[in-house]
C-alpha cells in the first residue's frame, strides 16, 4: 500500500502541489526460473530528507537484505486531478532524481541490488487505486504527465543499471479504463530501460491486470487477509495463507511468470492479519507477537516455492536508531523482536 507519511511530510506535499514490449511467450515448454536462484530478500526503503549513509547501509547488511526498493514520488491534488508533479526542489531528497541516484550508487557500491518503484501520492493520502478522470481531456493529460514521470525515472534506472523497474503501484481504475495506454507505456519504457520490469498490483487487483505478458514479474502488494485473531499463532497464519498460496501458484503457472511481492508486511498491532493494509492511527495497541507470527507464517508458506521470486518488506527507514522499537505499532520491523526472524530468513538465501 502507498501508506501515510508523517504529518510534516503531508504539509510539505501540500506546498509542492499548490506551488506549482516484449511479445507474449506462448511456448508451453518454457520453464519458470529454477528455484535454486536466490530469492529477492528485499526491504522497502522509505525516502527521506537526507542522503543515504554508510551507517544506513550497515543496518541493511545486518538484516541480510540483498535487494532494496527506492521510491521516488510524484503528487496529484485529488483523485480526479490529471497533473502529476514530481522532482521538485521542495521535495524530500530521497524522492527526487538526484536523491534516488545517490541512494542507488551507494547501494550498488555495497553489493545491494535495487528495484526502483516510482509512486504517486494523492493529497490527503487517498488510495491511488481510485484515481479516475471525469473526461477524455483529463485522461489524456493524466496519461501524458504519468508517462513523463515514469520515463524520466526509467532513464535514471537505465543510467544507474538498476536491476528491476516497477512501472506503477496500485492504479486499478487507471488500468481498468486505459488498458491500451499501459501496453504503450511498457513499449516506451523498454526503449529506454533494459532491466527487468514489473507492476505492483494490490492483493485484490493482480488477477485483473491485462499486461503481465509484457513484464518480467507479477508484482503483488501482498496484504492478503490472513486471520481474524487478535494474536494469530504461526499455525493460524499458515492456514490463512493456504487459499492465497493456491491462487498465486495457479496464476503464476497460467502467466508463466514468477510472483514478486512488491510489498509485504504486517503492523505490530492487534488484529494485524485481518486487514493488513490498514495504516490508520486509530489502531493504537502494540502487539509484537502478532507481527512476528504472521511474518513467520508467510515465510513458511511461500518463500521456498518455485513460483515465488521473493519480496520487499514494508517498510525500512534510513535512520535506524530513531524508528521502530517495542512501543511502535507500525509496519517497520526496526528495533523490534521480529528483526531476528527476518534476518535469519534472509540469511538462508543471500546472493
User: Three cell numbers at 244?
Assistant: 492465497
CATH code of 58's domain: 3.20.20.80
Q: What's the predicted TM-score (pTM) here?
A: 0.90
**Could you tell me if 213 and 24 are in contact, meaning their C-beta atoms sit under 8 angstroms apart?**
yes
Q: Is residue 288 part of a domain?
A: yes
| DSSP-based three-state secondary structure for 125 | helix
User: Three cell numbers at 86?
Assistant: 514530481
Q: Which domain holds residue 173?
A: 7-18+38-347
* Per-position b or e across 147-182, b if 16+ CB within 10 A of its CB: bebbebbbebbeebebbbbbbbbbbbebbeebeebb
Phi-psi region for residue 24, left (φ > 0), alpha (ψ -120 to 50) or beta?
beta
Bridge partners, residue 66, by sequence:
none
Of the candidates 108, 103, 113, 100, the residue with the CA atom closest to the CA atom of residue 65: 113
Q: Is residue 28 part of a domain?
A: no
Strand-strand pairing, 113-116 and 85-86: unpaired
DSSP state of 34: P
Bridge partners, residue 221, by sequence:
202, 263
For the chain, count helices (H), then strands (E): 9, 11
Of the candidates 239, 202, 233, 205, the residue with the CA atom closest to the CA atom of residue 314: 202
Residues 279, 3, 183, 132, Cα dihedral to 10°: 80
Q: Is residue 236 part of a domain?
A: yes
**Cα–Cα dist 228/240, whole Å:** 9
Q: Is residue 192 part of a domain?
A: yes
Number of domains in the chain: 1
**Cα–Cα dist 8/11, whole Å:** 5
Q: Is residue 282 part of a domain?
A: yes
Q: For the chain, which ranges sit under pLDDT 70? A: 1-37, 281, 349-351
Q: Is residue 27 part of a domain?
A: no
Q: Is residue 1 part of a domain?
A: no
φ/ψ of 108, rounded to 5, equals -65, -40
User: Three cell numbers at 115?
Assistant: 528495484
DSSP state of 3: -
Amino acid at each position: 500500500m502507498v501508506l501515510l507519511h508523517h504529518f510534516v511530510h503531508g504539509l510539505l506535499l501540500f506546498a509542492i502541489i499548490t506551488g506549482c514490449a516484449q511479445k507474449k511467450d506462448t511456448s508451453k515448454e518454457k520453464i519458470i526460473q529454477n528455484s535454486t536462484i536466490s530469492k529477492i530478500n528485499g526491504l522497502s526503503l522509505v525516502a527521506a530528507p537526507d542522503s543515504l549513509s554508510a551507517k544506513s547501509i550497515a543496518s541493511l547488511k545486518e538484516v541480510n537484505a540483498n535487494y532494496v526498493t527506492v521510491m521516488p514520488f510524484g503528487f496529484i491534488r485529488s483523485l480526479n486531478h490529471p497533473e502529476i508533479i514530481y522532482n521538485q526542489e521542495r521535495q524530500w531528497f530521497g524522492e527526487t532524481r538526484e536523491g534516488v541516484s545517490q541512494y542507488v550508487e551507494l547501494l550498488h557500491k555495497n553489493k545491494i541490488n535495487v528495484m526502483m518503484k516510482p509512486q504517486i501520492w494523492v493529497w490527503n493520502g487517498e488510495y491511488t487505486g481510485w484515481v479516475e478522470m471525469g473526461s477524455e481531456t483529463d485522461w489524456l493529460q493524466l496519461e501524458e504527465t504519468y508517462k513523463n514521470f515514469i520515463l524520466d525515472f526509467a532513464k535514471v534506472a537505465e543510467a544507474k543499471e538498476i536491476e528491476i523497474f516497477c512501472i506503477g503501484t496500485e492504479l486499478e481504475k487507471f488500468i481498468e479504463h486505459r488498458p491500451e495506454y499501459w501496453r504503450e507505456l511498457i513499449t516506451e519504457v523498454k526503449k529506454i530501460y533494459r532491466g527487468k520490469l514489473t507492476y505492483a498490483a494490490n492483493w485484490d487487483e493482480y488477477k485483473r491486470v491485462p499486461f503481465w505478458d509484457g513484464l518480467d514479474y507479477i508484482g503483488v502488494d501482498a496484504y492478503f487477509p490472513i486471520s481474524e485473531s487478535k494474536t494469530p499463532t504461526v499455525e493460524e497464519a499458515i492456514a490463512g495463507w493456504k487459499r492465497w498460496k493456491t491462487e498465486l501458484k495457479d496464476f503464476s503457472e497460467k502467466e508463466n511468470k514468477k510472483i514478486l511481492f512488491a510489498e509485504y508486511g504486517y503492523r505490530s498491532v492487534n488484529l494485524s492479519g485481518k486487514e493488513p493494509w490498514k495504516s490508520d492511527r486509530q489502531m493504537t495497541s502494540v502487539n509484537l507477537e502478532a507481527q512476528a507470527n504472521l511474518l513467520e507464517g508467510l515465510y513458511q508458506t511461500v518463500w521456498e516455492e518455485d513460483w515465488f521470486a521473493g519480496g520487499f518488506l514494508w517498510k525500512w527507514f534510513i535512520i535506524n536508531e530513531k524508528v521502530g522499537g517495542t512501543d511502535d505499532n507500525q509496519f517497520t520491523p526496526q528495533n523490534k523482536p521480529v528483526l531476528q526472524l527476518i534476518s535469519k530468513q534472509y540469511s538462508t538465501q543471500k546472493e
